[in-house]
Amino acid sequence: MCGICGIVDYSGFSIEEDTLWRMTETLKHRGPDDSGVELFEYVGLGHRRLSIIDLTSAGHQPMLSEDGNFVLVYNGELYNFQELRRRLEEDGVVFRSRSDTEVVLKAYIRWGTNSFSMFKGMFALAVWDKTARRLHMARDRFGIKSLYYYPFKSGVVFGSEIKSLISSKRVRLEVDWEGLHEFLYYQNALGSHTLFGKVAKLLPGHYLTVGRKGIDVSSYWSVSDIEPISDSFEEATSTVRDRLEDAVKSHLVSDVPVGIFLSGGVDSSAVTAFAARHYCGKIKTFSAGFDFDAGVNELPKARQVAEHFGTEHEELHIQGSKISDIIERLVRSHDQPFSDAANIPLYLLCEQLEGSIKVVLQGDGGDEIFAGYRRYNVLSYERFWRCFSRMAPYLAWVAPRGQSYYRRMRFFSAMRQSDRAMRMALLLTSESCNRSPTRVFTAEIRKSLSRFDPFARYREIYEKVKDFDPVQQMLYTDSVILLPDTYLEKVDKATMAHGIESRVPFLDADLASYAMGLPSSYKVKRGHKKWILRQALRGIVPDTFLDARKTGFGVPRSYWLREPLSDYMRSVLLDPDTLRWGVFDRKALEKCIDEHVHGLRDNALLLYKLLNLALWHKFYLS
């Protein structure tokens, strides 16, 4: 895995090599093995390399075509690169390396932008066409790898991380209020938005063309393109099993050792089962226990899985004694406030493994593809829950107050929404329309934020999936919003901060497209989630693992902000520099803090978001 960056400028002013090297150096953690820059008329490209396939200098980037008319910077892995290579060789194309990078470059030369839909894997890339004087950037269909860009009058600056854009000194640092409004609801901005004004994310399954006339963004793949699958349950079960096995097998291709992050859950156990079959040698598995796991210790279960499949297993016992320092480092890793606190244990795990392994497989994506969350169960009985939610206001009079009470009231409020897009959004956030997260901001800022609809992205996606049943709508929406904007963003930044490439077999193009096309009744059955996946794994993964209750990992955010991080939180949020920013209403902010610290109400999620926001302002805007 790597880091890419570059500048396109048609103004006639030359791009300075020092600027390009400075941008490239900010991505060193993503690619500690090699670096390179290339300058041409109108464009400069930079690359940091993490050597995974073909460790020789033949895989050096930026990679130029033999005639010098095309140059590529590429971050990713193509799992079908050998198949594409054979097709190109049959057409007479000659290769000089074993790397998938060269396959990407020559596939583009042969098929142009049509090649992007042929790529099966994870990637963010940019290719300069010297003859046409155009740059194309593309991102994989699920958004496993990130790619940011900032347009200016005569061109664009881009990179794998926002820090590389900022280091170009072409980016005006200002707040994107629409992105901020989304962040307050969902812990991160959605879709193409970031919290920096005019800094955008290229959407998954899209490519961007930069030319003299400006920028054009096009889609080469969408979940709405997925065709419904009419296979019988028995046929589908067999196909899911075969495609998952093929996906894991293809994700093991590497010229460096591969490991697995093993939690003991269904998804990581399935990956381990198939990897143990096909890996050349004894595959390594890693599990972690944390001193803040709140009693949710998955080490014994993971150990049993490792013993069953005969892996070389390592248990890591990780302490989080300096959580405030980790939070600050993660704000810098994301370059934005990002408040899914599950990035803390992942970051700590990767920190402990840094230098010992380069490639790990994870089970991410299984929940969104095969329906692993409780809300999918709820939506399979949507009519019942909507009817029941109408009685909730009457039950509220007699129900005892407490955290579970407020959680249930949020759920019932979401289910009462007639707007299905809002209903899906509110099922994913601890915020509600009745108690807006903007309540701690000044009246002026609340007015500015009110101009933007925090549910706009959900409404946009709903228009594409409205003809499906409620469960399928939620699955498709999660795969387009929750997966790339939260979970894959978390994985990319936490792992690449330590030079570790994370691979996600459940998001293999063939497996995911097939699974997403299956009826929702195959995925949720009589209250059982991931029904078809569990049946597909019978006889491969022991039933004791398949039928075990899903525990998950809970980061004790509420406890931290009430006890060990309480003083730190106050010092950051009530810091004079933070208050001089002029966005917070001090009285409302102090009330929110006091309610939480004194146990009157659990405001942890909002306070954690505000803590990240204040740190981001301190590091980037003050």
Identify whether residues 572 and 612 lie together within a single domain.
Answer: yes
Residue 570 lies in a domain: yes
Q: What does the DSSP 8-state code read for residue 437?
A: G
Task: Work out the number of other CB atoms within 10 angstroms of the CB of residue 73.
Answer: 30
Identify whether residues 264 and 203 lie together within a single domain.
Answer: no
Q: What CATH number is given to the structural domain containing 123?
A: 3.60.20.10
pTM equals 0.94
Instruction: Name the domain boundary from 221, 252, 268.
Output: 221
The rounded distance, in Å, linking the Cα atoms of 407 and 402 is 9
- Specify the amino acid at residue 94: V
Residue 211: which domain range? 2-221
Residue 263 lies in a domain: yes
Identify whether residues 538 and 611 lie together within a single domain.
Answer: no
Identify whether residues 310 and 414 lie together within a single domain.
Answer: yes
Task: Work out the number of other CB atoms within 10 angstroms of the CB of residue 400.
Answer: 6
Residue 472 lies in a domain: no
Q: In the numeric block, which tokens belong to residue 393?
A: 């206001």
Residue 478 lies in a domain: no
Contact criterion met (CB below 8 Å) for 180 and 186 = no
- Per-residue confidence (pLDDT) for residue 286, from 0 to 100: 93
Residue 255 lies in a domain: yes
| Residues of the chain where predicted confidence (pLDDT) is lower than 70 | 1, 54, 293-297, 320, 388, 391-407, 550-554
The rounded distance, in Å, linking the Cα atoms of 339 and 204 is 21
Q: Is the dihedral of CA 565, 571, 574, 578 positive or negative?
A: negative
Residue 328 lies in a domain: yes
- Specify the amino acid at residue 175: V
The rounded distance, in Å, linking the Cα atoms of 238 and 231 is 10
Helix axes 489-496, 323-334, angle to 10 degrees: 110
* Plot region of 76 (φ>0 → left; ψ -120 to 50 → alpha; else → beta): left
- The residues near 550 (Cβ < 8 Å, ≥ 6 apart) are 265, 266, 372, 529
Residue 169 lies in a domain: yes
Task: Work out the number of other CB atoms within 10 angstroms of the CB of residue 192.
Answer: 16
- The residues near 210 (Cβ < 8 Å, ≥ 6 apart) are 8, 134, 135, 136, 137, 155, 156
| Strand partners for 48 | 3, 35
Contact criterion met (CB below 8 Å) for 73 and 119 = no
Identify whether residues 332 and 401 lie together within a single domain.
Answer: yes
Identify whether residues 214 and 228 lie together within a single domain.
Answer: no
Identify whether residues 179 and 44 lie together within a single domain.
Answer: yes
Q: Each residue of 490-536: pLDDT tens digit?
A: 999 999 999 999 999 999 999 999 999 999 999 999 888 999 999 99
- Per-residue confidence (pLDDT) for residue 390, from 0 to 100: 73
The rounded distance, in Å, linking the Cα atoms of 468 and 80 is 31
- Per-residue confidence (pLDDT) for residue 594, from 0 to 100: 96
Identify whether residues 193 and 147 lie together within a single domain.
Answer: yes
Task: Work out the number of other CB atoms within 10 angstroms of the CB of residue 497.
Answer: 22
Identify whether residues 326 and 347 lie together within a single domain.
Answer: yes
The rounded distance, in Å, linking the Cα atoms of 168 and 548 is 50
Q: Is the dihedral of CA 250, 251, 257, 261 positive or negative?
A: negative
CA Rg value for the chain: 24
Identify whether residues 540 and 572 lie together within a single domain.
Answer: no
Three-class secondary structure assignment of 239-271: HHHHHHHHHHHHHCCCCCCEEEECCCCHHHHHH
Question: What DSSP line would sit under 578-616, residue for residue?
Answer: HHHTS-B-HHHHHHHHHHHHTTSS--HHHHHHHHHHHHH
Identify whether residues 230 and 276 lie together within a single domain.
Answer: yes
Instruction: Name the domain boundary from 196, 221, 246.
Output: 221
What is each CA distance from 128 to 69, 109, 131, 473, 515, in whole angstroms? 8, 11, 9, 38, 35
- The residues near 327 (Cβ < 8 Å, ≥ 6 apart) are 344, 611, 612, 615
Burial per residue of 504-536, b for 16 or more beta-carbon CB atoms within 10 angstroms, e otherwise? bbbbbbbbbbbbbbbbbebbbbeeebbbbbbbb
Identify whether residues 187 and 50 lie together within a single domain.
Answer: yes
Instruction: Name the domain boundary from 492, 518, 545.
Output: 545
Residue 473 lies in a domain: no
- Per-residue confidence (pLDDT) for residue 379, from 0 to 100: 84
Domain count of the fold of the chain: 3
Q: What CATH number is given to the structural domain containing 275?
A: 3.40.50.620
Alpha helix positions (H), 116-259: 162-167, 177-186, 233-251
